[in-house]
Structure 1
Amino acid sequence: MKKLKCFMVLVLIMQLNNSLAQKKGVLEFPKSEDNLILTAPIDRWDEAIPLGNGLLGGLLWGEKNTLRLSLDRGDLWDERTNGEPEWWKKHTYAKGVELINEKQYDVVSTWWDTPYNGTTPTKLAAGRVEIQFPVDEILKDFELNLASAEGIARFQSKSIVKVIYSATKPIVLITIKGTSPSAVNLLSTMDVFKKGKVDSEESSGGTTEKLGYPDAIKGKSKNASWYIQTAAEGLEYCVYTQSKQVGNETLVAVTIATSTEAKDVLNLAKRRCKSALDQGYNAVLAKHKGWWTEFWKKSSVRVPDAAVQKQYNLVQYFYGAASRTNAPPMPLQGVWTADSGSLPPWKGDYHNDLNTQMTYMAYQESGRFEEGASYINYLWNRRKVFQDFAKDFYGTKGLACPGVMSYSGQPLGGWGQYSLSPTMSAWSAHLFYLHWLYTADDKFLKEKAYPWSSGVGECMLGLLKPDQNGVLKLPLSSSPEIFDSSPQAWLKPNSNYDLMSLKMLFLSLSEMAAAIGKTSDVKRWSDAATATGNFHTKADGTLLLDAITELPSSHRHLSNIIGMYPFNLITKEGGEKDIMVIEASLKDWEKKGTSAWIGYSFSWMSCMQARVGNAEEAVKNLDIFVKAFVSRNGFHLNGDQTKSGYSNSTSRPFTLEGNFLASQAVQEMLLQSWSPTPGKLNSGIIRIFPAVPTKWGDASFTDLRAEGGYKVSAARKNNKTSWFSITAKNAGFVRIKDDFQGQKPKWNSTRVQFNDGIYEVNLAKGQKLEALF
């Protein structure tokens, strides 16, 4: 009888396997209906078709018979310090603490805020190419083909222009068919300034002329034109364009070469363009498409909302277009610096009080680790700069990255409460921790994640001192960007933001130390996490700003509730107290309203609501973001562009973090894998469709990543999970939360156990677990 039962079980498993084999997740490349299609004219750079290859970036736009391609390169920076060189060595953190305790706020503000008020340091644009066509050629529309990363411009005559930023070479190639250009003009940044009208909202750092550069050296030959710009501190760059006629097709090649690559920038640029033209568009396109095919194979998502789907795919495209392993990471505007004669909004810098962290928060689940490694490698490669900054400014061992910094890692200053807050480094360290969790790469953990993050831990411990109750406190505390730069912004240490950032850092360090066998470090970091004390709440659980200060009104930065998201310190699975804190705090934020919010506030709140399981609130905030806070080309514009009252701000400056938060919000609704006990090794739990709104009744995803390196695919029909699979990268114990609305999964394994609402099973390396409902 036992043999018969075993045989029947095996038959059932075989039948289930056959059934599952027909329902496996299939990767979906972006469809034509997901493409970005814009009717001509496009007469603003921030509404243009965005193109790029990580190093080079471009914006395709124009009107009537003029086609423009705005040019950018990620490492074009003017690093000149505004004011006294290395001012942070003289006006140190310790001196600031002393003066703030004496209430000499204006002195400290002058020290730390003034350096930001100059023209430099700043990101630089690289001019533009303008292609003139016969007067009877009128632009009809523009398109971004997401699958092939091609920019397309169509004319009413059916003539067509296609543009690629080669995915494999630092070259731009343009093909023109059906007509011939009457002129290909190359404009330097100063030419653009003289020709254009500067938008005051885009010129927080001033205009190009304020840089004081000598005139660009311009050159021209029969089929080529170029300019060589001498910038600051020895930087020289050449922008070069060359044309070639091949039958009825006109080819135009463009590149930007810098003195960091070669002494003779002109010769390097010439060689690049000649090589591309000799190969031809189709040959370059073939390699380019091959790269993008592999990019789109990483994962895919499908939701039944066209606007959200388009935004999700576009933002994933941004990772491929604007971020690469060995290229500069994305600052505020990525590789799409303002092309209006102005310097970019907020100098196009690296803001670490939200922007960089949130820009690099959506790649982990989508498996775009090579693109995400751009920022990780950037931080790692500047560790000596950050070690010096910790020593020179904070007076500690370890390392710290400035809250606002240039490409070199130089502190830019600004509102001192945030631009020089030490805990911004703790938030950056969180990205190393997440990269390890999602890649399950123990070599990366040992060689980069733990060394960099523990360096931050050393700096924090050097600043923290026990109070009379033994609770570790910082000398100064703040909460981005509450009370702006007023004296009131110096909160009572530790603010909830600082406390949550520190606690998450120490818990993650304890977990990472356990994973690499550093037993003594495990206790050290765990003890430090405990010693930071409890979060500050009212009696009803509402999170305060610090021990005594309530959130006074609507605010853009969700800093005092960061412990809910992206940190998993306060969770819906953390017991009655956590649930009380979540409900009271979100109710408080709702009561304060959204009048002071900007675009990223809505996409961050969407992530936050999804994390705590509030699906309808999550999608409501996401929908508002997509509707009101993006330009027609998908870029996040900070203010409410519809003027519908979602926010008092209707400003236009473009930054990227809101886009990436929106992409992550979609992923948070579909898949989560955080641990309810952070700091405990191998304690993550996979949650499939944890916060899907009713209107997304049919949804699916393929090969999203979960903590532990798992690949997860799933389908949902009629508001219920219908199938999922989990593939293990390494051997390990996988836990899956029962969020299946009373449905019982039919497994392809007999070893799955069910304990306290969690399905558990050991998987071998490469093994796939599947379930059907």
Structure 2
Amino acid sequence: MKTKLVSRFAVKVVARRVKKSKPLSIVLLFVFALLSCTQKTKTIENNINWPEFMAQHDLVWEETPLQWNEGAFTGNGQVGMMIYATMKDNRLDFHMGRQDVTDHRKAPNKKTSMGVKGANLMDFSRLDIGRMYLRPAGKIQKIKVRQHLWNAEVRGTIITDLGELTFRAFTPYNRMLNVIEVSSTEKQDGKTADYTWEWKAGNPISPRALAKPESYPDIELNPKPVVSKNGDLNVCVQTLNAGGDYATVWKEVESSESASTMYLSTANEIPASGKSEVVAGKTVNDAASTTLTEVEKIHRDWWHSFFQKSFLSIPDGRMESFYWIQLYKMAACSRADGPALDLNGPFLKVTSWPGLWWNLNVQLTYWPFNTSNHLELAENYIKLIDDYGDAMLKNRFSGSTLGDYAWALHNYWLIYSYKGDWESIQNKWVPKAMDVAKIYEGKQIRNENGKIELIAMGSPEYKGFEKFENTNYNLAILRWLLNTLIESNEKAGTNLAEVEKWKQTLEDLIPYPIDENGLMIGSSQPVDMSHRHYSHLLALYPLFQLDPDSPEDMALVDKSVVHWHKIEDGKGLAGYSYTGAASLYNALGRGNDAYGIMQHFLTKQIGKGSALLLPNTFYMEGWGRNPVIETPLSGAAAIMEFLLQSWGNKIRIFPAVPDAWEEASFNDLRAQGGFLVSAARENSKTTWVKIKSEVGHPCVLKVPGWNEAIQIGGNGKVRMTKIADGEFEIALAAGQEIIVAPSPEVQPQLKPVQHNVEEINLYGVKKGMNYEEEMVYPVPEYEY
């Protein structure tokens, strides 16, 4: 009974008793008894001190960062910088990057030649911008660094034999600009630790050609950059043979004899010529003419709002820090109006892979954007598919690699699914998916039993680019594609003839090829060697065409994952083999197994050592030389999956929590269907759950261990029906929310898990933990 209704009833009782001249004390006692029987609407007590909470996850360097692989980083989703020392030359490097600076060799009149027929990576490869060197007058002895997540900035102290320099570096979110403040402390003799700046332009050639020069002996070099002065601005213009140019402009503004601020901007107005310098110069002058306090405030306000859009806290301090650093990395590397996030983000170095990869990388990269409630950062992925998808399908993916593009469409669908935007799925995703389904028709054959098989196609990276008949990779993707097309079109009442055809195809499609070790690569190819990719397991995760709620499917996938990880002692595994296995086990509800695998990824040798999780949480392959950003980001997705999953039209609360996690909490994580979900766990039990619907679709809430769910808060009475043990159907209107608990006495609280001091600030190079070798390709210093 609602409090308001009881109160009205009590007023009527009082009136009747007064008319009958009953004693007032009796009347008041009656009213009090009625009111005491009502249940107040409860709200969540929020006990998060955000600056304090985020500070325990800051990266702290106890040793000087001595190379890119140990550096601190800042970014705004388009531009950014990696910060590290080059001790042999007594300098601190600020390595600049901008994501959309690429070649465009096959498209002179466009910014990129991506999607152009005949274009390959060399034609739209990322290009290095360059580095700004800070050179102290004294000899560097040590550099102390702290990367402050809450304010998205890096602070440090450079200790030299002539005194100390302090610096602060950040990338203002609303300006295509990097800012570096430096000040010198005064020594006792009155002298200061002076410093100078020096610009070093990047080599304007594909980093892949630098990493593998023997493979590209005839590559045409772009012209050398031109460095000049334009008034008080320093300018570096890089012209490209394909046309146009990009430019970096910088200016030092002195605030005193011993302090200054450096402003640097890189603009890319390709294919235009002569405009980049103007744009970059204006960006620098606009920032320099504004108080740094104002620039800083707008920047900090954006980041504070960003972090508070969701919350997560778990008992494992290292894993919790890793998660929050990945959230920082997401916004440092991706923004709605920027390019799709490739393997490097704004932090390019000489690498074999200076671009976007489609056979796993881009898919894994975008997984954490969904549940973390940061879909705004994934708008560039929607634009990538909208702008280039048709051309890429036609010119690159119509053959044996069709599955790669079809899998990328799963990410496209996921973004709209997490929004609960079924209209966009029908109007935008369905036409693209139908094009892919049509191409798959040409890859089907009928066997002697009338069943549909698939011709030989790729299963990413297994035995290189070899093709296999009936790959589980393509069978799983095709099943997901057709099932989802059927669901969307039946809901919309469209393409009904095609729907019937798709249903028949699914009915006739052969089962997944399996053997005694579980899922195979293809019908004639077992998993008989250690292999990093889990393409043959996509039917479970992320596509959920195998049902984890089915004991038979669970046993099959469990056996398949165990075999995949143990064969040849895992010598071929990479980082995402561990984050992927964690997600697979989480989908099965096997949190202890998933937790053990994530612990291995975070703390032990990956594979046989050719892959590295770095102290700044970047991930490298090729013995530390090739950054691949998707792996740590997919690790963030796996961490969220311990706490919340939403496949199979159910919102699953703490579906795979390890036994060791007696407490945990999260707030406003996002579930498919347009729901924001919050929950807490204490003494190994879920104490309360809050769900808010953005679009007004019904949902099924699944909470292991709950016999009943009682509404204790929300904005209005919500109809809720128990449909099974631990499962409740909830009908929420758009904008409506509900707080439920197993008991009306629960007072919902949101608070971080408390960590011991040895569990905080675990990232950054720790004492004695610098790498012994500089992990770079042997590229000669570029002269211009």
Q: 2:463 aligns with which of 483, 487, 493?
A: 483
Q: Does 1:711 align with 2:661?
A: no
Aligned residue in 2 for 1:187: 200
CA distance in 1, matches of 2:554, 2:167: 56
Structure 1, 523-532 or 689-698: larger mean CA deviation? 523-532
How much has 1:389 moved relative to structure 2? 2.1
Cα distance 1:307–1:666, how it changes in 2: closer, same or farther (>3 A)?
Answer: same
1:15 and 2:18 are equivalent in the alignment: no
Deviation string 1:720-761 (CA, Å, 9 cap, x unpaired) is 212211111122221112412x56443336732222332112
CA contact (8 A) 1:751 1:761 kept: yes
2:589 alignment partner in structure 1: 613
CA distance in 1: counterparts of 2:543 and 2:617, whole angstroms:
27
1:67–1:131 CA contact under 8 A, matched in 2:
yes
> 1:732 matched to which residue of 2?
697
**1:666-700 CA distance string (max 9 Å, x none):** 0111101101xxxxxxxx01110011112222211
Asked whether 1:659 is paired with 2:639, we answer no
The equivalent residue for 2:513 is 536
Residues 1:746 and 1:10: Cα distance change in structure 2 (over 3 Å): farther
Where does residue 72 of structure 1 map in the other structure?
97
Q: Report the AA paired with residue 189 of structure 1.
A: G
Listed one character per residue, the Cα deviations across residues 574-631 of structure 1 (whole Å, up to 9, x for unaligned) are x343133123323322442422101111111111111111111101111111124411
Listed as ranges, the matches of 1:201-240 within 5 Å are: 212-220=221-229, 223-240=232-249
1:432 partnered with 2:408: no
Q: Tell me which amino acid in the other structure corresponds to 1:345.
A: S
1:155 is matched by which residue type in structure 2?
A: I
CA distance in 2, matches of 1:133, 1:738: 59
Structure 2: distance between partners of 1:384 and 1:200:
28
1:589 counterpart (564, 572, 578): 564
- Of residues 150, 155, 159 in structure 2, which corresponds to 1:147? 150
Distance 1:323 1:207, change over 3 A: farther
Aligned to 1:668: 641
Q: Which amino acid aligns with 1:751?
A: R
1:229-308 paired onto structure 2 within 5 Å: 229-247=238-256, 249-260=259-270, 263-308=274-319
Moved more, 476-485 or 526-535: 526-535
Cα drift, residue 522 of structure 1: 3.8
- Cα distance, 1:22 vs structure 2: 4.4
C-alpha contact (below 8 Å) 1:41/1:62 kept by paired residues: yes
Give the structure 1 partner of residue 437 of structure 2.
457
What amino acid is the match of 2:461? E
8 Å contact from structure 2 (residues 76, 333) kept in 1: yes
Q: What's the counterpart of residue 566 of structure 1?
A: 542
Structure 1 spans left out of the alignment, 5+ residues:
92-114, 396-419, 640-649, 676-683
Partner of 2:492: 516
Conservation of the 8 A alpha-carbon contact between 1:239 and 1:254: yes
Tell me whether 1:766 sits opposite 2:765 in the alignment. Answer: no
Distance 1:743 1:367 in 2: 29
Mean CA deviation greater in 244-253 or 697-706:
244-253
1:631 to 614, 620, 623: 614
Does the 8 A contact of 1:301 with 1:700 survive in 2? yes
Residue 14 to residue 559, structure 1, CA distance change in 2 (3 Å): farther
How many residue pairs get aligned? The number is: 683
Q: Percent identity?
A: 23
- Aligned match of 2:710: 746
- Cα distance in 1 for residues equivalent to 2:616 and 2:115: 40
| Cα separation, partners in 2 of 1:201 and 1:23, compared to 1, 3 Å | farther
* Bigger CA radius of gyration: 2
The residue number in structure 2 matching 1:700 is 665
Give the C-alpha shift of residue 262 in structure 1: 6.5
CA-to-partner distance for each residue in 1:522-560, whole Å, 9 max, x for gaps?
43444443343321123x581122223211022111111
Query: Equivalents in 2 of 1:41, 1:208: separation in Å?
Result: 37
* Offset of residue 502 of structure 1: 1.1
Deviates more, 1:380-389 or 1:431-440: 380-389
Q: Is the 8 A contact 1:173 1:254 kept in 2?
A: yes
- TM-score, normalising length from structure 2? 0.80
Deviation at 1:211, TM superposition (A): 5.2
Amino acid corresponding to residue 529 of structure 2 in structure 1? S
Opposite residue 547 of structure 2, the aligned amino acid is T
Q: Higher relative CO (CA 8 A, sep ≥ 6), structure 1 or 2?
A: 2
Task: Give me the whole-angstrom Cα distance separating, in 2, the residues matched to 1:368 and 1:504.
Answer: 25
RMSD after superposition: 3.4
Distance across 2 between alignment mates of 1:563 and 1:13: 51
Residue of structure 2 equivalent to 1:679: none
- Counting helix residues as a fraction of each chain, which structure ranks higher? 1
Q: Report Cα offsets for 1:182-224 as digits up to 9, x if no partner.
A: 321111113999xxxx999955897999651222111136754
Paired residue type of 1:598: A
